[in-house]
Structure 1
């Protein structure tokens, strides 16, 4: 069970993310539910990974608190399954039978923390706070990438060609020769492309191009 420790508060908002607890031990699920709710988190409990997958919350905002030893698919294999399915909810592992190779595998695969049972409440709260922060940053990054991709799709085919050449470091004269158009036309397409992408300078465009992987396009 969870050892006694001082609890810290957590700010709640209308969009408070959830902590998803997967453990086949009902007493542990209830203890974690009480702990997380005491600091304002929304909590969902599951006895196994199958229940979680069928919950419809796999892509929801939040994090997983996942026991390593579970009936059926164990926690480490489930972590791998989530990664292969491109589900990115951060994971905090907990186990009563952990060892170094097991924790190394979990951390290398992207786990936020690996806590041996019994653990201090504060250690669990700190790990979950880190996991929720990672989830928020991941979602913000994906949102920015989607917005950028949306702007990129407003470019004409020729503008995309020109901007790909710019991303590879080609000069206007080289781009004109490569595409069989005039240098003036290249400048027009380049200006239009940068405006549509929201790049105010070549340096800013290069940063956006990295996100779009334009240097590898074509």
Structure 2
């Protein structure tokens, strides 16, 4: 198995378990970075690079569940697979409910894990593409003037030009000019296009 450009991050405070996974995955042609704690991962993680994260559920300091929450808060696009001891299965199930892709009990079934890593990398590709698109949209939105942004919010709320004009206390003609300019900057062909873009960028309807 060779996944060019992908980095598998192994996070486990148990050195033997960490190095065992690193050796197994490395022997299959995967690039692996090992981390002894969640804090070490967060300090070194490049979440713009294709990959996934294998994290132990129970670790001193920041646990696997707390790490998952932090990664979600950072909008990290790398999928997380949890590794757990038998007694930690309920905690691992909670991790799945919180967004982890899957969990494996120790000792890990190597071939099953590799198949799940393949799935994780496919998912990562999709999520990185979304992140790139969101970044491009954010760049476009940053070019809007404050007034154009206000008009955009009005369009997002489903308001007509004359309603936006009344809301903002400006003329209908001024709204039309701002709307034309913001549509041009956003490369939006219609109001529906613009609304989809703004929602994709994280604006609330």
TM-score, scaled to structure 1: 0.78
Q: CA, structure 1 residues 60+43, in 2 after alignment: closer, same or farther (shift >3 Å)?
A: farther
Deviation at 1:198, TM superposition (A): 1.1
Distance 1:100 1:44 in 2: 25
1:174 to 152, 163, 177: 163
Q: CA, structure 1 residues 114+98, in 2 after alignment: closer, same or farther (shift >3 Å)?
A: farther
Structure 2: runs of 5+ lacking an equivalent? none
Deviation at 1:188, TM superposition (A): 2.0
Matched residue, 2:130: 141
Matched residue, 1:162: 151
Distance 1:52 1:194 in 2: 41
Distance 2:116 2:194 in 1: 37
CA contact (8 A) 2:58 2:88 kept: no
Distance 2:202 2:57 in 1: 37
2:2 to 7, 10, 20: 10
Map 1:33-72 → 2, pairs under 5 A:
33-54=22-43, 56-57=44-45, 59=47, 61=49, 62-72=51-61
Deviation at 1:135, TM superposition (A): 3.0
Deviation at 1:107, TM superposition (A): 0.6
Q: CA, structure 1 residues 213+135, in 2 after alignment: closer, same or farther (shift >3 Å)?
A: closer
Deviation at 1:111, TM superposition (A): 0.9
CA contact (8 A) 2:84 2:92 kept: no
Is 1:202 equivalent to 2:194 in the alignment? no
Range 144-153 or range 63-72, more displaced: 63-72
SS in 1 for 2:32: strand
Matched residue, 1:108: 97
Count of aligned positions:
203
Distance 1:179 1:81 in 2: 39
Deviation at 1:134, TM superposition (A): 3.0
CA contact (8 A) 2:152 2:179 kept: yes
Structure number with greater CO (CA < 8 Å, separation at least 6) is 1
Distance 1:156 1:71 in 2: 48
Q: If you compute each CA radius of gyration, which structure gives the higher value, 1 or 2?
A: 1
Matched residue, 1:184: 173
Distance 2:190 2:39 in 1: 50
